Amino acid sequence: MSRKKMKYLPKKYTIPMTAAKAAMLLLSIVFSGAMTALSGAGLIYNRASYGKSLAAAGLFLIISAALMVLGAVLCLFRKNLPNILSLFLSFAGFFLCMAMLKRLTGHADASGWTDKYTLAPVSGMYVRRILPCVIPVLMSGAVAALQLCSYELKVQRRARKAAKQEKKNAPAPSIIDGE
């Protein structure tokens, strides 16, 4: 390949993508991992006063936090399968988290839970604590989609497809001369 053509090839690792991955991983650990998992752990820890249904919601919050963080970690790799799994796990964890948040805030509002000092509804506190996990989920989805649509992976897929086609269309060995 000539130097002129190599000059225009995209770089494998770019600074903005690396910065986006670092920010996404940090936000994922803080918002998806810590806030969501600790909210779920609090529900499980106080299950004697909350009941079994909220303890189950706490368990599902922890599972959703693990799925979202795992999706963010898989997004760091520049391969097809981890990026596809990253999209699936991140969004599945987010939807599970939002379903459990809806269940938790509905129970809190129905039970009349309020802060004892400000008398503000506790459901607002749960929403403010758990809802920001949408940021790292969207970031991991964008990074995974960008990596799946990158020029390098397209070239790799085309090369694999051409190699398969070449192998398929290879001439058959001679039967007569093979004695």
Q: What is the pLDDT along the chain (179 residues), one digit of tens a residue?
A: 555 555 555 556 688 889 999 999 999 999 999 999 999 999 999 999 888 999 999 999 999 999 999 999 999 988 889 999 999 999 999 999 999 999 999 999 998 888 888 888 999 999 999 999 999 999 999 999 988 887 776 777 777 788 788 877 777 777 776 55
**What are the phi and psi torsion angles at 116 (to 5°)?**
-75, -15
Those residues whose C-beta lies under 8 Å from the C-beta of residue 53, and which sit 6 or more positions away, are 103, 107
- Taking the alpha carbons at both ends of the chain, their separation in whole angstroms is 43
Which pTM does this prediction carry? 0.80
